[in-house]
Amino acid sequence: MDYRGVIIDYGHGGMIDGRYQNPASKQYTFTDHDNWWIGEGIVNRQIAAKLISLLVEQQIPVYDCVAQKQWTKAPTWQELEQANVALIDRVSEANRHRNCILLSLHANAVGNELQGESKPVRGVSFFTSKGQTRADLVATSLYVEFGDSLKDQDMRVRRGSWEDGDQDHEANFYILRKTDMPAVLGEVGFFTNWDDAQYITSEEGQRVIARAYLNGVLPFIY
Protein backbone atom coordinates (compact mmCIF):
# COMPACT_ATOMS: atom_id res chain seq x y z
CA MET A 1 0.00 0.00 0.00
CA ASP A 2 1.24 3.49 -0.81
CA TYR A 3 0.90 6.30 1.73
CA ARG A 4 0.35 9.97 1.03
CA GLY A 5 2.57 11.65 3.57
CA VAL A 6 4.66 11.41 6.72
CA ILE A 7 3.76 12.35 10.29
CA ILE A 8 6.68 13.46 12.47
CA ASP A 9 6.66 12.97 16.23
CA TYR A 10 9.69 14.31 18.12
CA GLY A 11 9.95 13.02 21.63
CA HIS A 12 9.98 14.93 24.91
CA GLY A 13 10.40 18.65 25.52
CA GLY A 14 12.85 21.20 24.11
CA MET A 15 13.85 24.67 25.28
CA ILE A 16 11.49 27.41 26.48
CA ASP A 17 12.93 30.70 27.76
CA GLY A 18 16.33 29.07 28.11
CA ARG A 19 15.05 26.19 30.22
CA TYR A 20 15.19 22.56 29.20
CA GLN A 21 11.73 21.04 29.49
CA ASN A 22 12.88 17.64 30.83
CA PRO A 23 14.62 18.66 34.07
CA ALA A 24 14.48 15.19 35.64
CA SER A 25 15.27 13.04 32.61
CA LYS A 26 16.21 12.86 28.92
CA GLN A 27 19.55 14.57 29.43
CA TYR A 28 23.09 13.61 30.37
CA THR A 29 26.24 15.38 31.56
CA PHE A 30 29.50 13.55 30.78
CA THR A 31 31.65 13.89 33.89
CA ASP A 32 34.60 12.32 32.05
CA HIS A 33 34.39 14.89 29.22
CA ASP A 34 34.48 18.32 30.89
CA ASN A 35 30.83 18.08 32.01
CA TRP A 36 29.61 18.28 28.41
CA TRP A 37 25.80 18.26 28.31
CA ILE A 38 23.25 16.80 25.90
CA GLY A 39 19.46 17.09 25.92
CA GLU A 40 17.63 14.39 23.99
CA GLY A 41 14.59 16.60 23.37
CA ILE A 42 16.79 19.16 21.61
CA VAL A 43 18.49 16.55 19.43
CA ASN A 44 15.12 15.06 18.48
CA ARG A 45 13.94 18.49 17.30
CA GLN A 46 17.14 19.25 15.41
CA ILE A 47 16.86 16.01 13.44
CA ALA A 48 13.11 16.46 13.01
CA ALA A 49 13.63 19.92 11.49
CA LYS A 50 16.14 18.53 8.98
CA LEU A 51 13.82 15.64 8.08
CA ILE A 52 10.83 17.95 7.68
CA SER A 53 12.93 20.15 5.41
CA LEU A 54 13.85 17.17 3.22
CA LEU A 55 10.21 16.07 2.98
CA VAL A 56 9.10 19.60 2.03
CA GLU A 57 11.86 19.69 -0.59
CA GLN A 58 10.54 16.41 -2.01
CA GLN A 59 7.01 17.84 -1.99
CA ILE A 60 5.84 15.08 0.32
CA PRO A 61 3.07 16.18 2.70
CA VAL A 62 4.53 16.32 6.22
CA TYR A 63 2.46 16.67 9.37
CA ASP A 64 3.78 17.54 12.82
CA CYS A 65 1.70 15.80 15.50
CA VAL A 66 3.49 17.69 18.30
CA ALA A 67 2.85 21.21 16.95
CA GLN A 68 -0.41 19.97 15.33
CA LYS A 69 0.26 21.50 11.92
CA GLN A 70 1.35 20.73 8.39
CA TRP A 71 4.72 22.09 7.34
CA THR A 72 4.99 23.64 3.89
CA LYS A 73 8.36 25.31 4.43
CA ALA A 74 11.64 24.24 5.98
CA PRO A 75 11.65 25.04 9.73
CA THR A 76 14.47 25.61 12.16
CA TRP A 77 14.40 23.36 15.21
CA GLN A 78 13.50 26.37 17.35
CA GLU A 79 10.33 26.82 15.29
CA LEU A 80 9.08 23.38 16.28
CA GLU A 81 6.88 22.96 19.35
CA GLN A 82 9.14 23.06 22.41
CA ALA A 83 6.64 21.97 25.07
CA ASN A 84 6.52 18.37 26.23
CA VAL A 85 3.12 17.72 24.64
CA ALA A 86 1.13 14.83 26.13
CA LEU A 87 1.19 11.56 24.23
CA ILE A 88 -2.60 11.39 24.10
CA ASP A 89 -2.69 14.72 22.25
CA ARG A 90 0.07 13.71 19.83
CA VAL A 91 -1.72 10.45 19.04
CA SER A 92 -5.05 12.20 18.58
CA GLU A 93 -3.47 14.60 16.09
CA ALA A 94 -1.64 11.81 14.26
CA ASN A 95 -4.86 9.85 13.82
CA ARG A 96 -6.27 12.69 11.73
CA HIS A 97 -3.87 11.53 8.98
CA ARG A 98 -4.48 7.78 8.71
CA ASN A 99 -3.13 7.47 5.17
CA CYS A 100 0.38 8.50 6.26
CA ILE A 101 3.42 6.88 7.91
CA LEU A 102 4.36 8.02 11.40
CA LEU A 103 8.00 8.37 12.46
CA SER A 104 8.70 9.00 16.15
CA LEU A 105 12.22 10.38 16.59
CA HIS A 106 14.22 9.57 19.73
CA ALA A 107 17.66 8.76 21.08
CA ASN A 108 18.34 6.02 23.61
CA ALA A 109 20.01 5.89 27.04
CA VAL A 110 21.44 3.47 29.56
CA GLY A 111 19.92 3.97 33.00
CA ASN A 112 18.22 7.04 34.43
CA GLU A 113 21.21 8.97 35.74
CA LEU A 114 21.51 12.62 34.77
CA GLN A 115 25.30 12.54 34.81
CA GLY A 116 28.23 10.17 34.85
CA GLU A 117 30.91 8.69 32.67
CA SER A 118 30.30 7.61 29.10
CA LYS A 119 28.38 4.32 28.94
CA PRO A 120 29.69 1.65 26.54
CA VAL A 121 26.39 0.79 24.81
CA ARG A 122 25.91 2.30 21.34
CA GLY A 123 23.69 1.86 18.33
CA VAL A 124 20.30 2.25 16.70
CA SER A 125 17.00 0.41 17.22
CA PHE A 126 13.64 0.59 15.45
CA PHE A 127 10.44 -0.32 17.27
CA THR A 128 6.98 -1.27 16.03
CA SER A 129 3.93 -2.47 17.95
CA LYS A 130 3.71 -6.18 18.68
CA GLY A 131 2.81 -8.77 16.07
CA GLN A 132 2.69 -8.53 12.31
CA THR A 133 1.71 -4.99 11.36
CA ARG A 134 1.89 -2.68 8.35
CA ALA A 135 4.80 -0.94 10.07
CA ASP A 136 7.08 -3.96 9.84
CA LEU A 137 8.05 -3.36 6.21
CA VAL A 138 8.78 0.29 6.94
CA ALA A 139 10.96 -0.66 9.92
CA THR A 140 12.84 -3.17 7.78
CA SER A 141 13.48 -0.50 5.14
CA LEU A 142 14.79 1.87 7.83
CA TYR A 143 16.94 -0.91 9.29
CA VAL A 144 18.61 -1.46 5.91
CA GLU A 145 18.97 2.24 5.12
CA PHE A 146 20.50 3.14 8.49
CA GLY A 147 22.80 0.13 8.36
CA ASP A 148 24.19 1.40 5.08
CA SER A 149 24.29 5.08 6.09
CA LEU A 150 26.06 4.47 9.41
CA LYS A 151 28.40 1.67 8.40
CA ASP A 152 31.46 3.89 8.81
CA GLN A 153 30.42 5.15 12.25
CA ASP A 154 30.73 1.95 14.32
CA MET A 155 27.12 2.66 15.22
CA ARG A 156 25.38 -0.57 14.34
CA VAL A 157 21.67 -1.03 13.89
CA ARG A 158 20.61 -3.39 16.65
CA ARG A 159 18.54 -6.36 15.52
CA GLY A 160 15.30 -7.28 17.28
CA SER A 161 14.17 -10.70 18.44
CA TRP A 162 13.22 -12.03 14.97
CA GLU A 163 10.21 -13.76 16.56
CA ASP A 164 8.05 -12.59 13.65
CA GLY A 165 10.85 -12.79 11.09
CA ASP A 166 11.55 -9.05 11.06
CA GLN A 167 14.53 -6.99 12.21
CA ASP A 168 12.46 -4.56 14.26
CA HIS A 169 12.08 -4.56 18.01
CA GLU A 170 8.51 -4.83 19.27
CA ALA A 171 7.08 -2.85 22.17
CA ASN A 172 3.82 -1.57 23.61
CA PHE A 173 4.82 2.08 23.34
CA TYR A 174 1.71 4.27 23.41
CA ILE A 175 2.63 6.13 20.21
CA LEU A 176 2.85 2.78 18.38
CA ARG A 177 -0.18 0.90 19.68
CA LYS A 178 -2.66 3.80 19.76
CA THR A 179 -2.05 5.19 16.27
CA ASP A 180 -4.04 4.03 13.24
CA MET A 181 -1.28 4.15 10.65
CA PRO A 182 2.07 2.36 10.23
CA ALA A 183 4.20 3.80 13.05
CA VAL A 184 7.91 3.29 13.71
CA LEU A 185 9.82 4.65 16.69
CA GLY A 186 13.54 5.15 16.09
CA GLU A 187 16.06 5.20 18.93
CA VAL A 188 19.03 6.57 16.98
CA GLY A 189 22.17 6.64 19.08
CA PHE A 190 22.64 6.46 22.85
CA PHE A 191 22.93 9.93 24.35
CA THR A 192 24.72 8.34 27.34
CA ASN A 193 27.57 7.21 25.06
CA TRP A 194 30.18 9.86 24.23
CA ASP A 195 30.76 8.80 20.60
CA ASP A 196 27.06 8.45 19.81
CA ALA A 197 26.30 11.74 21.55
CA GLN A 198 28.96 13.55 19.53
CA TYR A 199 27.58 12.15 16.30
CA ILE A 200 23.89 12.84 16.89
CA THR A 201 24.60 16.44 17.95
CA SER A 202 26.82 17.16 14.92
CA GLU A 203 25.46 18.87 11.81
CA GLU A 204 26.81 16.13 9.59
CA GLY A 205 25.42 13.34 11.76
CA GLN A 206 22.00 14.93 11.88
CA ARG A 207 21.97 15.38 8.10
CA VAL A 208 22.87 11.71 7.59
CA ILE A 209 20.21 10.57 10.06
CA ALA A 210 17.51 12.75 8.49
CA ARG A 211 18.41 11.54 5.00
CA ALA A 212 18.33 7.91 6.16
CA TYR A 213 14.84 8.40 7.59
CA LEU A 214 13.73 9.95 4.29
CA ASN A 215 15.22 7.20 2.13
CA GLY A 216 13.74 4.55 4.41
CA VAL A 217 10.16 5.74 3.90
CA LEU A 218 10.35 6.88 0.25
CA PRO A 219 9.51 3.42 -1.18
CA PHE A 220 6.14 3.55 0.58
CA ILE A 221 5.05 7.06 -0.41
CA TYR A 222 2.63 7.42 -3.35
CATH code of the domain covering residue 106 = 3.40.630.40
Residue 172 inside a domain? The answer is yes
Note down the domain range covering 139: 6-220
Cβ contact 12:44 at 8 Å: yes
> Quick check: helix, strand or coil at residue 33?
coil
Cβ contact 23:39 at 8 Å: no
Residue 1 inside a domain? The answer is no
pLDDT of the residue at 2? 86
Q: For the chain of 222 residues, list the mean pLDDT of each consecutive stretch of 10.
A: 93 96 97 98 98 98 98 98 98 97 98 97 95 94 96 84 64 95 98 98 98 98 92
Q: Where are the alpha helices (DSSP H) in 150-202?
A: 174-177, 194-200
Residue 85 inside a domain? The answer is yes
- Residue of 101, 135, 131, 106 lying closest to 45 (CA atoms): 106
Residue 208: enclosing H or E segment and its boundaries? helix 203-217
> Quick check: helix, strand or coil at residue 56?
helix
Question: Amino acid identity of 219?
Answer: P
Residue 214 inside a domain? The answer is yes
Cβ contact 160:169 at 8 Å: yes
- What is the chain's alpha carbon radius of gyration, rounded to the nearest angstrom? 16
Q: Which residues lie across from 115 on neighbouring strands? A: 29
Residue 65 inside a domain? The answer is yes
Question: Amino acid identity of 90?
Answer: R
What domain count does the chain have? 1
Q: What is the pLDDT of residues 102-161, one digit of tens each?
A: 999 999 999 999 999 999 999 999 999 988 899 999 999 999 999 999 998 889 897 765
Residue 108 inside a domain? The answer is yes
Measure the CA–CA gap between 3 and 219, rounded to whole angstroms: 10
Half-sphere exposure for 55 (CA within 13 Å, toward CB): 31
